Structure 1
Amino acid sequence: MKTFCLIIFTVLAFSFSLAAQDKEEARASAPQPVLIEPLLREATQALKTEQFQEAYRKARQARALSQRRGYKAREAHATNLLALAAMSLGRVTEAIPLFKEAATLSSEANSDDVSKMQVMALERAGRLSRIVGRYEDALWCFDQALQLLRRRNEPGAEAYMLANLSAVYSDTGDFTKALQTLQTALPLSQRLGNRQLEKSLLTKFLIIEKGRGNLDAALRYGEQALTIEPRPRVEFNNKQLLIVTMELQYQLGMVYAGLDQHDKAIRLYQLALERGQEIHVPQVQAFALGELAWSQFKINDTAKALENIAQAITTLRQGGGNKHFESRFLFIRAEIQRALGRNSQALTSYRQAVATLEQARSLSIPTEISRAGIVASRHNVFAGAIDFLLSQQQTAEALEVAEAYHARAFLDVLTESGVEASQELTPEQKAEEEKLFAQISSVQKELWKPELKPEDEAPLKGKLEDAENALEAFHLKIRHANPRYTRVESPALLKPDRIAKELLDADTALIEFVLSEKKSFVWVIGRDKLASVALPPSKDIEALVTSYREAFAGKINSLTALQAIAKQKTQGQQIYQKLFQPLEPHLASARKLIIVPDGALAYLPFETLVSETKNTSAYLLERFAISYAPSASALAALGTHRQTDSSATKGIVAFGDPLYSTDATPTVTTVRGSDFRQIPYTRTEVNEIAALFPVADRRVFLGAEAQEANVKTENLSRYRYIHFATHGMIDEDHPARSGIVLSHIADSNEDGMLQMGEVMRLKLNADLVALSACRTGLGKLLNGEGMIGLTRSFLYAGADSVLVSLWSVSDMATASLMKSFYKNLQQGMTRDEALRQAKLALLKGQQRSWRHPYYWASFILLGEAR
């Protein structure tokens, strides 16, 4: 089959069969368009000979004539040629809407030849949207084109389109989705034997591994791609090969730069620039020029670096811009200016870099991971700005940058969760959404069957990915058509004075961390205090935390308790000395702490750190009530975010001791590779907690009644407290698959797993949701954003705070801790103090093994603590 080439920088002459006009033309019985056809041919020839201004003029004339005559097919053709000419003249932002218009006209013309142009126009609009950093638009265009190609059964073109989609996901930091999409393209490309496509796909694999930080793997893909020499068959394939080669050289240059092999990087950037001169798209040349400047700066060729970064920024802006890359180039300029001692200029550049990245974030794919990925991929922009500001004693402004870095996707989704898009769906759209959720549930029920054969697992996982992609595409389509989303603005970020005034009591301090490659940073904010401290590099902190987590990996019994506690305390003291002891002078009056972690610190229960004086040592738990927050601004937003206007009128609803088999006795059921047993003490836990509330104020679902359908049908907005005593299922690579494992009911339409997407559809009004299950506080960890997982979905649904665990927990100890916690709440304690006292009860209790933090420190409070 003839390969269907899709590349934006191609000049492609369509051989339409215009004798078969569209229906509107046939009905009009108009005379033959003798003036339009020559103009179309002349515009096409001008494009081939690179007379772009002439092509633009001829195409515009043909378009105007076609519009007057009402010839949809010819208007589509002329508009497409006009877009190609505008693009070739470097007017990218003009070309994008023209390509979209050509696609729309092609759809209306309704002929086979013109429908090919519709795909081409959508693909070009997508590629240009990606180049200018409008990732949501790019994704929409590529997805529309992909659906058309699948209906036409063109595997070569489909593989190219999947590669385009993968690139968008990589650009926005969703490397799991990028890899998943690219792997779908592989079997298509292997069937075709297209070496050019193979070279392009290898480059996309390089991009993914580079983005993940696996530079050695990225280098292997790049070197393999360099050995492939495609055999172009027609002229426009030569153009396509030029682009594929340039992208490879540019991306491989960045790999070498990451490996500090800047001489090799510079040679590759220069080769890419030579090819870029033939492409006529300013952004593409600017990308290579900006990275060339960075490598020149790293080898101390500062004069050339400054000249090239200035040219890169100018070229980028003249071509219509790309905020994502512009923020990177402004950061590079700031670093060069700082090295030259031009501090005033550097300050301006750092500020511009941070502000520009904020604009880039708003143009990303509107999924939580992609929005977070934009920030995570530009971590050095924030770290560089913070380091410079602190060197200039600008502590408050540095904290403002930290707030711009932390949990921005969380704030976006939290704000948008108030847009009731589901209420605006038509009955048909609601039915389609329900059908998509049902498809996911159906596939998962098959995956969780104990008798599942190994050879059936991979095809089912493929079906699950397809169903999840279809649901995401549906939501993006709804969002694309709903203007209310474009009007939603995230709340303003809090400045230090507002943090102190609005969030902190007199005895409370907020501690906010930012980890970075060269050194890390932490701020202490109190009612009348703002201080910052420099900490070790992120690599050193991550090593300490990783080693420390091993202390909580296995159960502790009475025989090993003393030895295990002694070892844990030694490690806890080491981390305390590195991370917390430098803060002590600023915490003299604090009794409560709100901690905003970063990176690996999201895994660290600070309560377990051990402070030591000459006379005594103590866990931080014994000194402070500690809670956690995604950021100060996020914590403030939680205080105003409710899914319902009315107040909760009842005490507690609890779900516990779900059935994982149809037998009455505890058994093992295999669920996605994990063994889930009945949890006997969860029944006791739920009953004892419920007994603390009046009968009229409680609702309990136990055994078979602790099922997904009851969670969805119960009016949860009535309850202040919602408690789940079950197993949890955490998928760190695909956080949307994480969930609460409830009773498996054979004849139910539900799959028994209350997952993130389903939680977000609940309407909560709760002060607290307690997830009394294993590892519910974990998920996908991204720099700056924090942990994306099950915890957040309950906050989005309307909860003020969530109680979650960081590791697998002991059944009996958890039941005891939870009972004490709710008893303390009923006695009027704040949430953080209630949890602290419940933990102290285990620490100082009679059960010797429970004194180890493994038993009492797993559960942390995220969100509002008062």
Structure 2
Amino acid sequence: MKFAISKAQKFWQIFGQKILGKKNLVFCLMLAIATYCSIAIIQPAIATNNQNVAKQNIPSLLSQSHQTSLLEQGIRLYEQGNLAEAVTTWQQALITYRNDQSSGSNKLSAQLNEALCLNYLSMAYQELGEWKQAQTTINRSTALLDQQLTSKEGMAIAARISNTQGSLQLAMGNPQSALDSWKIAAEKYNQLDDEIGLLGSQTNQAQALQALGLFRLASEQLEAIELHLQKQPDSILKSVALHSLGTTLQTLGDLAKSQKILEQSLAIAQQLNNPAESSATLISIGNNFRFIKDIDGALQKYEEAAKLSPVSIIRLEAQALILSLLVESDRLQEVKSLWQQIEPDLAKLQPSRRSVYLMVNLSESLTKIRDAKDRPITTSKIADLLTVALRQSQAIQDRRAESFALGALGGLYEQNQQLTEAYQLAQRALVLAQSTNADDLLYRWQWLSGKILNQQGKSDLAIAAYRQAVKNIQALRLELAATSPEVQFAFRDRIEPIYRELVSLLLRSENPSQENLIQARLTLESLQIVELENYFRAACLNIQPQQIDAIDSNSAVLYSAVLKDHLAVILSLPKAPLQYYSTNISQTELEESADQFLQSLNPAFSERIRLKISQKLYDLIIRPTEPALIERQIKNLVFVLDSSLRNLPMAALHDGKQYVIEKYSLALTPGLQILGAKSLDRSQLKVWLGGLSEARQGFTELKGVKFEAAQIASQIPTNLELNSNFTKLNLQKGLAEQDTAIVHLATHGQFSSDPESTFILTWDDRITIPDFYKFLRDRTDNRSNPLELLVLSACKTAEGDAKASLGLAGIALRSGARSTMGSLWAVNDASTSKLMSNFYDILIKQPTISKAEALQQSQLSVLKDPQYRHPYYWAAFVLVGSWL
């Protein structure tokens, strides 16, 4: 597995030493500022990282000699993105240093200089994807320093080398070794009394901890770093350091804290009248707005950055970001006006990796305008722009950039239906991506090849290409989720379609083979996993494939796939081959029906129309499977739902005579691969219950919460915290310290496709998914027993959010609970109290019953009450995870 190295890692890897001479510090600081800002537009993760490199400072032991000049020339070339020329220049410097050692002229200094130069070379080889040479070079650098570590200069270079070694190890998919290397670097910086270097190494460690899944430790590390930085006096160095920390937090998904720190960085840069760093930080702040879909906010920051920047490439990169947002917002007149500003300046750019990425990003933004009449330039001119980018990449001998340009050109030809040329370009891009270990590009060109082959009628070859693309995405799960925020932004455009198109190919016939059905099912589950990990911004799910036979012989699993022109359903029964059902219906029509069904669940809506829509959905999803379900005497249905279907209450679907809940108990799961199914241990059931009955933080009162809490407490041992006692701190203590199997939260909350908008309300705060994870991590650290059941009463999905169920699934999985029960909408207080009371009564009095059956019986008890027969009162509650 290959990992892109984040810009923050590289900044801290190479920046800031107290032993530097003032002249060299200023020189390298300006190099850092000059390029730190750029963010690529929805491009490979490595592309972003390549553009955001702050160069290492040159130790004061170096004299202003020819060798130093070569070293600095290499730094400038590296900074500009001319990696091959930088390598050549540093290799020339190495020859001079070795000659100095052979002649006995200042042998010690020449040895240290050679070690430093080798460190630079290793960094360049990493950028070029030449892992073997990068490792060999850094090993040579380390060996040279073995006898020089007692000197201050030698220790300073050794610290840098450890940082470079850590970056290489993370890039090669070994975060534990990277963490160890960065700890060694931190020790050396500590011995040198270099606080900036120490904080930098600790920041790198936080990202390694994140990659290892140790999120709580990573968070604590970053909080300590922020505290130390705040104590530093204001300086441009502090501004750049805060900028680095802010982008690290952005990468790790903590956008609120990232925004706060980036604004501090900006304030210092503006106070010190440094337009380059101000522009850099404005772009990063704009990215935060973009990630939360505040388009106007992002545009404003990008525009400020473009106006302020004294460096033309940075200004163009900011303008390219603006153009991409304008295209996505269909503000095409503004696109045309902006392109007229950008186009003349492109011809003035010197060839570099940054210029190549800039032109490719611009071309991809322009090709998203599907109607060629609305494009500010013709398709042939876009091809010319990509050809210039391709020639520049070849001129600077940058094979990764060349692959990026070739693949983009192939995509343009594919869009123009010039399939033969498109396939040839895609294959050339593939070969280059493989030769440079660019796995983050590889899956894109495999996808492109698959699309072209499918259009050429070569289905088997197309499936093979798609499967390779999915395989590479699976290998890149951690990188895509944890180190590449722009991938999260582009998920629907760049990752999700690959899975859906593969499923569509596998199910293209009316009677797919078992092999294809098994592959389609695995692909659907894999999509659920990467989608949730993209939601979490971390590859954190414990994947353990399980068969339905081994879990429950009385259950069936229904997988749905919402495809462009039909709905596919795969039925998995215990000890039986997979069965396949397909209904012709467009994705648009299906989504409209799902939306209408949700609206019809309002009691004021016409019952006749509600039942009609409900029966239509039943006919699409469940009716085709009925004969097999009846024959196998299935009692429980487990749904792995797709797209807009995930927000629907399956319990309220109607077959014309009765509701689904009257025939089956139900559960939802993102997939059996991440289920962890296990029966509830009733031997020592205890509940920790927190709730709000009073109006709080702008939310209305929940009058039924007190009655609900009292009913539960009368049935099962309960630790009760209501209203002012239901605080964030008390919830944390309750989860960490109470040996309870069930946590029940009766309060306002919301599930959303945006993690920032998914929360549970306490008296004094909003509990987010990261909060839940921290709290349950504390519990896991202190208790051997996991949480059996998390109940979220009175919460709801965000209105109009087609993927709001991601928030419910996110809380369910991130909490670590085996099962989570939540409500899809805010339900009537009285009916909820009755349902919850019945649920716990059934759990206690019927020890052999499953959680899904207990929920089914409690829902039926409400349904049978004449005043609550409408699905609004009972259908909202769903069980996610283990149904046993």
Instruction: Report the TM-score, using the length of structure 1 for normalisation.
Output: 0.69
Seen in structure 2, the aligned counterparts of structure 1 residues 68 and 146 have a Cα distance that, compared at 3 Å, is: farther
* Aligned position for 1:436: none
Cα drift, residue 832 of structure 1: 1.1
Q: Distance in 2 between matches of 1:862 and 1:727?
A: 19
State the SS of the aligned residue for 2:476.
helix
Residue 303 of structure 1 pairs with residue 420 of structure 2:
yes
Matching residue of 1:633: 673
AA of the residue aligned to 1:843: L
Match of 1:359 in 2: 475
Superposition pairs of residues 97-176 of structure 1, within 5 angstroms = 146=244, 154-160=274-280, 163=283, 176=293
SS at match of 1:774: strand
The 8 Å contact of residues 179 and 205 in structure 1, kept in 2 or not, is answered as no
CA distance in 1, matches of 2:794, 2:534: 28
Residue 57 of structure 1 aligns with which residue?
A: 91
Aligned to 1:513: 560
The one-letter amino acid of 1:268's match is: I
Shift of 1:396: 1.4
Correspondence 1:328 to 2:444: yes
Correspondent of 2:834 among 800, 816, 836: 816
**CA gap 1:297/1:827 in 2 versus in 1, 3 angstroms:** same
**1:222–1:248 contact (8 Å) kept in structure 2:** no
1:5 aligned residue = 34
Per the TM alignment, residue 631 of structure 1 is displaced from its structure 2 partner at its CA by 1.2
Q: 1:235 to 1:538 in 2, by over 3 A?
A: closer
Q: Which residue, 491, 501, 524 being the options, matches 1:402? A: 524
Tell me how far apart the structure 2 counterparts of residues 349 and 169 of structure 1 sit (CA, whole Å): 36
1:69-80 correspondence runs (5 A): 69-70=108-109, 78=117
- What corresponds to 1:624 in structure 2? 664
Counterpart AA for 2:390: G
* 2-structure distance, mates of 1:260, 1:12: 39
Assess, with a 3 A threshold, how the Cα gap between structure 1 residues 541 and 306 changes in structure 2: closer, same or farther. Answer: same
Q: Distance in 2 between matches of 1:759 and 1:101?
A: 46
What CA distance in whole angstroms lies between the structure 1 residues aligned with 2:76 and 2:703? 78
Partner SS state of residue 705, structure 2: helix
**How big is the shift at 1:595?**
0.5
- Residue in 2 that maps onto 1:576: 618
Q: Report if aligned partners of 2:688, 2:719 keep a CA contact under 8 Å in 1.
A: yes
2:651 corresponding residue in structure 1: 607
Q: Is the contact between residue 658 and residue 706 of structure 1 (CA under 8 Å) also seen in structure 2?
A: no
Inter-partner Cα distance in structure 2 for 1:813 and 1:631: 31
Q: Take 1:138 and 1:183, find their aligned partners in 2: how far apart are those partners?
A: 34
Query: CA distance change for structure 1 residues 227 and 83 in 2, over 3 Å: closer, same or farther?
Result: farther
For 1:676, which of 675, 699, 711 is the aligned residue? 699
What is the letter of the counterpart of residue 753 of structure 1? R
**Cα gap change, 1:576 to 1:11, in 2 (>3 Å):** closer
Cα drift, residue 853 of structure 1: 1.1
**Cα distance in structure 1, aligned partners of 2:71 and 2:107:** 16
Gaps of 5+ in 1: 27-31, 415-471, 477-484, 661-668, 744-750
Amino acid corresponding to residue 352 of structure 1 in structure 2? Q
**Rounded Cα–Cα distance in structure 2 between residues aligned with 1:628 and 1:390:** 23
1:568 partner letter: R
Q: Secondary structure at the match of 1:719?
A: coil
For 1:742, the equivalent position in structure 2 comes to 762
Quote the Cα distance in structure 2 between the aligned partners of 1:351 and 1:341.
17
**Matching residue's letter, 1:296:** Y
Residues 790 and 99 of structure 1: is their aligned pair in 2 closer, same or farther, counting only changes over 3 Å? farther
- With over 3 angstroms needed to count, the CA separation of the structure-2 counterparts of 1:255 and 1:631, relative to structure 1, is same
For residues 267-315 of structure 1, the C-alpha deviation after alignment (integer angstroms, 9 at most, x for no partner) is 4144222233113322333233223333433444222122111111112
Amino-acid identity (%): 18
Inter-partner Cα distance in structure 1 for 2:691 and 2:346: 66
Match of 2:712 among 668, 689, 708: 689
Structure 1 counterpart of 2:726:
706
Task: Check conservation: 1:368, 1:410, Cα contact below 8 A.
Answer: no
Aligned counterparts of 2:765 and 2:338: Cα–Cα separation in 1: 45
Q: Which among 760, 763, 770 is matched to residue 791 of structure 2? A: 770
Shift of 1:852: 1.4
Partner amino acid, structure 2, of 1:680: K
Cα distance change on mapping 1:87 and 1:237 into 2, 3 Å: farther
Cα distance, 1:373 vs. partner? 6.3
CA distance in 1, matches of 2:854, 2:318: 54
What does residue 447 of structure 1 align with? none
User: Residue 843 and residue 540 in structure 1: after superposition, are their counterparts in 2 closer, same or farther (change >3 A)?
Assistant: same
Q: Secondary structure at the match of 1:607?
A: helix
CA distance 1:372–1:820, shift in 2 (3 Å): farther
CA offset digits 1:226-282 (Å, max 9, x no partner): 121499799877869844751443222441359899994464144222233113322
1:500 has 2:513 as partner: no
1:807 maps to which residue? Answer: 825
1:469 counterpart residue number: none
- The counterpart of 1:491, out of the listed 525, 543, 546, is 543
Kindly state the Cα deviation for residue 685 of structure 1 after the two structures are TM-superposed: 0.8
Which amino acid in the other structure matches residue 526 of structure 2? A
CA distance in 2: counterparts of 1:598 and 1:208, whole angstroms: 28
2:732, 2:416 → 1: CA distance?
Answer: 60
**Preserved contact between residue 822 and residue 879 of structure 2 (Cα < 8 Å):** yes
How many pairs are equivalent?
Answer: 712
Aligned: 1:566 with 2:566? no
CA contact (8 A) 1:736 1:757 kept: no
1:827 aligns with 2:842: no
Determine the structure 2 residue equivalent to 1:272: 386
Task: Say if 1:91 and 1:223 are closer, same or farther in 2 by CA, change over 3 A.
Answer: farther
Query: Partner residue of 1:480?
Result: none
Q: What is the root-mean-square deviation of aligned Cα atoms in Å?
A: 5.1
- 2:639 maps to which of 588, 595, 604: 595
Alignment correspondent of 1:753: 766
For 1:527-566, what aligned pairs fall within 5 Å after superposition?
Answer: 527=574, 528-535=576-583, 536-552=585-601, 554=602, 556=603, 564-566=606-608
1:651 maps onto 2:674 in alignment: no
Offset at residue 801 of structure 1 (A): 0.8
Whichever residue aligns with residue 606 of structure 1, its letter is M
Cα 1:11–1:189 change in 2 (3 A) is closer
Q: CA deviation at 1:523?
A: 1.0
The answer to which of 401-410 and 521-530 deviates more is 401-410
Change (3 A) 1:489 1:721: closer
| Counterpart for residue 747 of structure 1 | none
2:858 matched to which residue of 1?
838
Change (3 A) 1:339 1:511: same
Q: CA offset at residue 802 of structure 1?
A: 1.0
1:445-460 mapped onto 2 (5 Å cutoff): none
> Could you say which residue in structure 2 is the equivalent of 1:728?
749
Is the contact made by 2:850 and 2:883 (CA closer than 8 Å) also made in structure 1? yes
Secondary structure of 1:159's counterpart equals helix
TM-score normalised by structure 2 residue count: 0.68
Q: Please say if residues 481 and 533 of structure 2, whose CA atoms lie closer than 8 Å, have aligned partners that are also in contact.
A: no
